[in-house]
Structure 1
Amino acid sequence: MKPAYRWLWLVFVSLVLVACSTVKTASAISQTPLKTASKATVKSGAFFQNDGPADHIPVNLDLVPNAVPQDEPLIKAANLPYSALGMNFRPDTSDSPYKVKGKASWYGKQFHGRRTTSGERYDMFAMTAAHPTLPIPSYVKVTNLKNGKTVVVRINDRGPFHRGRILDLSFAAAHRLGFVGQGSASVMVERVWPDAGGEHVAAATAPRAAPIAAAAPKYLQLGAFNKLASAEAMLKKMVDELDQRYDTKLGIVNQQGVYTVRLGPFPSADEVRTAAESLNVENIVMN
């Protein structure tokens, strides 16, 4: 082969290899399997692609505490109607009770560290879960109907998009419930709220009990906008820039037509000032 043709051939092959090595990144909310993907089946279940337990499981996984229900502002962008795998979903942002029996599954290392629908990073060792329509964030008590074990988890993601399943739990939650090896289990899912005497579990037909009045929580205002799109743009920017410990405290509230991006709640004004100093916020506005 002549040198000139050989050089052109090598350039062409290099370009092809570069193109083939370019892949599209995915997030924890993108659970759509590739059409050519196959499942690696184990004796008692199946893992999608490279999903499954972590390569190194913490020795104290049994000691991971339940999520503690808190009053948190809903994340607007995470509660909009959406479609997935040919199905349409409309999140229920009301304070309605929820008590349903069904199959729960879990998701693990393939999604660990990726963004969830809430914008937070998925932590397979935290007490969280994905639900198709419950508010984000909200809390549920999950009971394994086979062994009676229970956990309380925080809903911060969407899924599972499977007609036969009602909940996708974190690896830690599934471990505590005792069905990691089976891949899925029959469970009871009940929505819970914070209450002065501890967690409050609503009956399927009962309205939410009114909480006892407490000191108003404090919030650090990060920005105020006339347009929701502008507030959502700032929220996304803050999620990308802030330390992960602040992810669950970020939210947008509509205050008489003004969309406010705020951080909280904090139990006291002193903690708001501490957060403002760590974030280099000069003009401290509390609400």
Structure 2
Amino acid sequence: MTRRSTATRAHGLALIAGVLALAGCSSSPSTRDAVPRAEPYSKYGNPQSYEVLGHRYEVMRDNGGYRETGIASWYGPGFHGKRASAGEEYDMHAMTAAHKTLRIPCYVEVTNLQNGKRAVVRVNDRGPFHDNRIIDLSKAAADKLGVTAKGTALVEVRHIEPGDPVSPDAAPVQLAMAPAAAIMVPGAMTRTPEAIEESRRPAPEWGRNVFMQIGAFSESINADRLRSRLASAGIERISVTRQVDGFHRVKIGPLTSVDEADGLSVRLDALGVYGRHIVVE
């Protein structure tokens, strides 16, 4: 595709060009959220499926209800001014992002689960084509979410439509919560049940409560079969838990870092085990 499929081109020249472009750029970084508006989907950016670096991706038919937890990254000078997958120019100073499968353009609310910061961004590009990332943020969005320095962060991504309520900026998610009835937003009414439930989620902490979920099965025998297969390949810290919905979930962890999650993804690819995602419990 437009951005990541050209990643093997001369990176040095691209970086130099990006730096020169920044030197003469008159635009300035903006941390104002993107404002969702109705707009047609890109004809160019929404094929039924596409392939990059040997992986095939299926574009969603409907973005409705999309919500996912995982690792975010960001991209900047090397792609600034180049064509994005939606057919427009990529501006690293705009509140935008890239996603592998959402129909574009669209809007998502991104929450950094490690510091509580939120941003609304317009998704207009494809990527990140890294095995263990769910969204690639523009530099402006990464700055607002506090992702730029470290390069990655655990986030939740939620698709929103024009007119949908947007969550206010939040304090970092707390492990110990006040009673629900006492939780207030200054100058506002009592928080909604959804907001209260969100605030009760534990803050992600590497080495304690961040896992990679490998599969979910209605029959425990299938979950046990996958666990045995992974164990025979030398993968450790595998657990099978039965959730309230009756499904048996196979997880690995707790994971200690993004690097460990990336290394684990490589091993799972070699085993032909796909469809995994990060969970915080």
2:8 is aligned to 33
2:38 is aligned to 71
Q: Which amino acid is 1:186 matched to?
A: L
Q: Distance in 2 between matches of 1:186 and 1:103?
A: 5
1:137 paired to 2:112: no
User: Contact 1:129/1:167 (CA < 8 Å) preserved in 2?
Assistant: yes
User: Contact 1:144/1:177 (CA < 8 Å) preserved in 2?
Assistant: yes
Does the C-alpha gap of structure 1 residues 59 and 121 become closer, same or farther in structure 2, counting only changes over 3 Å? closer
Unpaired segments ≥5 residues, structure 2: 169-193, 195-281
Unpaired segments ≥5 residues, structure 1: 1-25, 39-47, 204-287
2:123 is aligned to 155
SS of match in other structure, 1:77: coil
The 5 A counterparts of 1:62-101 are 63-80=30-47, 81-101=49-69
1:170 is aligned to 138
Does the C-alpha gap of structure 1 residues 59 and 186 become closer, same or farther in structure 2, counting only changes over 3 Å? same
| Offset of residue 76 of structure 1 | 2.1
Does the C-alpha gap of structure 1 residues 64 and 165 become closer, same or farther in structure 2, counting only changes over 3 Å? same
Q: Distance in 2 between matches of 1:27 and 1:59?
A: 23
User: Contact 2:42/2:87 (CA < 8 Å) preserved in 1?
Assistant: no
1:110 paired to 2:78: yes
| Offset of residue 94 of structure 1 | 1.1
Does the C-alpha gap of structure 1 residues 188 and 111 become closer, same or farther in structure 2, counting only changes over 3 Å? same
| Offset of residue 77 of structure 1 | 2.1
More strand by share: 1
| Offset of residue 96 of structure 1 | 2.3
TM-score, normalised on structure 2?
0.52
Choose the corresponding residue for 1:121, options 79, 89, 99. Answer: 89
Q: Distance in 2 between matches of 1:52 and 1:183?
A: 18
| Offset of residue 137 of structure 1 | 0.8
Q: Distance in 1 between matches of 2:100 and 2:123?
A: 10
Does the C-alpha gap of structure 1 residues 184 and 50 become closer, same or farther in structure 2, counting only changes over 3 Å? farther
Taking only aligned residues, the RMSD between alpha carbons, in angstroms, comes to 3.1
SS of match in other structure, 1:186: strand
Q: Percent identity?
A: 44
Does the C-alpha gap of structure 1 residues 200 and 71 become closer, same or farther in structure 2, counting only changes over 3 Å? farther
TM-score, normalised on structure 1?
0.51
Q: Which amino acid is 2:5 matched to?
A: S
Q: Distance in 2 between matches of 1:79 and 1:159?
A: 13
Which is higher, the Rg of structure 1 or of structure 2?
1
Q: Which amino acid is 1:74 matched to?
A: Y
Q: Which amino acid is 2:79 matched to?
A: F
Give the paired residue count. Answer: 165
| Offset of residue 31 of structure 1 | 4.5
